[in-house]
Amino acid sequence: MSKTTSPDAGSAKLSSGGFIRKSIRPVVFILALCMVLSLLPPVTASSYTPAVSTLRIGIFHGSSALASANLQNVDGMGRGYEFGYYNSSRSFVPLDVTTNETRITMMMDRNMYWDPGGASSGEYREGTSGSVVVGCFHIQPDQGYSSFAEAKVVADRYTDGFVRYQAGRYIPLVGQFATRDSAVAAISSRGFSGATVNSGTSNTITVTRTGTNTILFEYENGTTPFGVRPLPIANEKPETWFRGYRYNGGFRYERRSGTLLTVVNMVATEDYVKGILPYEMSNTWPLEALKTQACCARTYAMTTLNRHSADGFDLCVEIHCQVYRGRNQSNARTDQAVDETAGMYVTYNGQPAETYYSAANGGASESVVNVWGTARPYLIGVIDPYEADIISMYRSYYWSVSFTQAQLTQRLRDRGYDFATIASVRVSQRTPTGNVLSVVITDVNGKSQTFTRQSQLRTALGVATQNFSIVGSGESQIPGGIYVNSPAQQLPPGAQYIAIDGTGAAAAVPGGTMFAIDGSGNVTSVDSSGGGTSSDGTGFVNGVITINGAGNGHLVGMSQWGAYSMARFHDKTFDEIIKFYFPGVDITQT
């Protein structure tokens, strides 16, 4: 962080007259200003304005779309809901329709029955087999009105009356019936004159009091999705339960296929980041690490806004985008991390940077061009000494995969590669930070194929990262040498080694081949590639290939465990952490 020094007070001349009185206020002001500046976040001049301030987060969609979706105000953090829609600017447009019901359900306008044992708190399913059924046929007394108030006057004449918004008009409706015939019969038995039967369309959404057949409202507006927003209590920011998670913001519902509901959380950017932070990092981690994650998550959202545009929203809630689960795991620490970095983005040349992150890099991150093929000047691999402090804390830091020749051959065939029995596997190229760039696999007929970058290597070999070595391949892992404790910790090649005997006496190890004794008493030679009973360069030792590696994830950008280490053990601030993993970037306050 930059520091601002105070003016040299000793340079002021003390004399009689008004000199000191005239200079004391400016000096005090400058001192105060310097103190304030020293407390401000370490950011550059504002040069970036986010494209949006409200994000569309797809919670259920596609194969996970719902027949019904319950909402419930969190106790003390909501007093019902208002209905409307979100316009093209993502602003909520109210229809002047509200309810003080704290538990409501949006569903398809079809025959639906209540299943109290469904989902996390019961759900409506399509059909009429339950004891509580919501029919999709209704009585329409007249042609409707231009205001909700007018339509409600008519609907309120009946205990089962309600209003539907339909393409700019408010239509009073009465009752819910499972068949058209039963609705027609009700028109006659209830003495309606000139009424018709209305059954909505494939876009209609019905709102009920959860667990009942009481319809509160219906919405039909072509392809414009339905919007629901919780009503606040005083100035308290409302929170809403949905499928076991607590969310800020409003919700949008759309029957994109004419059947099930796509559910989207319409949430302010800062609230979205608060819903990511405790799921992408532990809410007990150091504040500076959490602030680093907040800046990365906020920025990443802006660089991936179009990822799910074909589905009508920006980002999903899974690891494909960023893990987002709302407020359940948020605490004072995670909220503080977001609040103290509010509006801060990681930028490069005035534009948001692609702030990728993964769990751990195994000792070195990787340039994006060597992972996904597209170069970015700030996404370059860096040697990471900080992860060394957290190895014992992250149980899966080191990993290993093994295959027999038959298993590896079958694995490759299952994935569409036409190989005979695999004869050898060798690392053919490493990156400047020591990660694997390419591997050559050869079968017994001499057919070879090169596998490069992350996706091909993971597909072929099942590796967790590009940070690995193949035991017995004859290829030394960068920096090379003899393994100590794990494949990722090596003694430098050519060094003088010292052995300590049982009495504590130390002596230099003479040159030549060294040997190791395992727990079973087996003696094997130790070579620079990790040792084994075979080092013929095929990668197979006694018919088995063993791949040892470190880290977890794509290795591009920030290491989350590295950020933890930098914050906890090295007193690094969030801006220092960001600029270590993303060389050349700025942190811009919007």
Q: Measured between alpha carbons, how far is residue 31 from residues 34, 159, 222 in Å?
A: 5, 71, 62
H-run or E-run covering 167 = none
Q: Which residues contact 534 (CB under 8 A, 6 or more apart)?
A: 472, 540, 541, 542
Task: Specify whether the CB–CB gap between 276 and 322 falls below 8 A.
Answer: yes
Q: Is 467 helix (H, G, I), strand (E, B) or coil?
A: coil
The type of residue at 307 is: R
| Residue 58: both structure tokens together | 């797809």
Place of tokens 């409003």: 250
CA 483 from centre of chain: 36
How many C-beta neighbours within 10 Å does residue 376 have?
18
The type of residue at 455 is: S
Q: Taking CA 283 as the corner, what is the angle to CA 335 and CA 583, rounded to the nearest 5 degrees?
A: 80
| Residue 92: both structure tokens together | 């909520």
* Rounded distance between C-alpha atoms, residue 503 and residue 118, angstroms: 69
- Measured in degrees and rounded to the nearest 5, phi and psi for residue 378 equal -100, -5
The type of residue at 582 is: F
Q: How does DSSP assign 92-107, residue by residue?
A: EEEEEEEE--SEEEEE
What global pTM score does this model have? 0.83
Say whether the peptide bond before residue 286 is cis (omega within 30 degrees of 0): no
Q: Taking CA 487 as the corner, what is the angle to CA 483 and CA 488, rounded to the nearest 5 degrees?
A: 100
How many C-beta neighbours within 10 Å does residue 406 have?
11
The type of residue at 156 is: D
Name the packing angle between helices 560-569 and 574-581 (round to 10°).
Answer: 140
Secondary-structure percent of the chain, ordered helix, strand, coil, rounded to 5: 25, 30, 45
Averaged in consecutive runs of 10 residues, what is the pLDDT profile of the chain (590 residues)?
Answer: 34 31 36 42 68 97 97 97 97 97 97 93 94 97 96 97 96 97 96 94 97 97 95 94 97 94 98 98 98 98 95 95 97 98 97 97 97 97 97 94 96 97 95 96 97 94 95 57 46 51 59 50 45 63 93 97 98 98 97
* Rounded distance between C-alpha atoms, residue 70 and residue 112, angstroms: 14
The type of residue at 395 is: R
| Residue 576: both structure tokens together | 């220092």
- Longest CA–CA span in the chain (Å) reads 108
pLDDT of residue 431: 96
Residue 264: strand pairing partners = 58, 252
* Rounded distance between C-alpha atoms, residue 566 and residue 569, angstroms: 6
The per-residue b/e assignment along 162-191, b for 16 or more CB within 10 angstroms, e otherwise, is: bbbbbeeebbbbbbbbbeeeebbebbeeee
Q: Which of 395, 415, 419 is nearest to 405 (CA)?
A: 419
pLDDT in tens, 67-119: 999 999 999 999 999 999 999 999 999 999 999 999 999 999 999 999 999 88
Q: How does DSSP assign 316-372, residue by residue?
A: ESSTTS----TTTT--HHHHHHHHHTTTEEEEETTEE----EESB-TTB---GGGTT
Q: Is 205 helix (H, G, I), strand (E, B) or coil?
A: strand
Task: Specify whether the CB–CB gap between 107 and 116 falls below 8 A.
Answer: no
Q: Which residues contact 311 (CB under 8 A, 6 or more apart)?
A: 58, 61, 62, 256, 262
H-run or E-run covering 34 = helix 19-39
- Measured in degrees and rounded to the nearest 5, phi and psi for residue 31 equal -60, -45
Q: Which of 232, 311, 312, 245 is nearest to 274 (CA)?
A: 245
Task: Specify whether the CB–CB gap between 182 and 133 falls below 8 A.
Answer: no
pLDDT of residue 518: 47
pLDDT of residue 121: 86
Name the packing angle between helices 574-581 and 287-303 (round to 10°).
Answer: 50
* Rounded distance between C-alpha atoms, residue 344 and residue 46, angstroms: 9
Question: Quick one: CA dihedral 170, 173, 178, 182, positive or negative?
Answer: negative
pLDDT in tens, 200-244: 999 999 999 999 999 999 999 988 999 999 999 998 899 999 999
